[in-house]
Amino acid sequence: MSNLFEMILTQKLTVCTTCKFSKEKAFDENGRSGGETLWDKLKLLRDQRGTRLNIVGHECLWACKHSCAVLLEDEQRTGYLAGYFTPEDNDATAILDWCEAHDRTKDGNVPFIEWPQGMRGHFIARIPGKGEKEDA
């Protein structure tokens, strides 16, 4: 039986649904933004892998210069804002690989050697988790 830490789902991946499809175009030929397309790819890949990750969409993360942007939040561990993604399968794979590596940590700090190649150069900010130590 899994321990309680493994059973509690603390991660949430928020995908900016208003991010442009590309630098040149806001929408694809079907009128979908890059963020919407990336969100769908991430959910499909998550379901194919059977990964336990809450993936939600949100209108505008105010990271427009870093489009497409995602925010990995965690109740207890360090989270991350990352961007400069395309709505392509390889970027969705790298993001999901990162989330899985993050989920295997106790503090949210994935050793650099374990970073998926597709995540390197994409980080914008680290977000402290609520469970991190407070100054005494």
Helix (H) or strand (E) holding 95: helix 89-103
pLDDT at 5 exceeding the cut of 50: no
pLDDT, one tens digit per residue, over 7-47 is 456 789 999 998 887 777 778 888 889 999 999 999 999 99
| Domains identified in the chain, total number | 1
Other beta carbons within 10 angstroms of residue 101's beta carbon come to 15
Q: Taking the model in full, what pTM does it have?
A: 0.86
Collapse the DSSP code of 65 into the 3-class scheme (helix H, G, I; strand E, B; otherwise coil) and give the result: helix
What CATH number is associated with residue 41?
Answer: 3.40.30.10
Mean pLDDT of 107-114: 92
* Residue 132 domain flag: no
Tell me, yes or no, whether 70 lies in a domain: yes
Residue 52: inside a domain: yes
For residue 78, is it within any domain?
Answer: yes
Domain carrying residue 14: 9-127
**Is 115 within the bounds of a domain?**
yes
CB 75 within 8 A of CB 131: yes
Query: What CA dihedral angle connects 77, 81, 82 and 84, to 10 degrees?
Result: 170
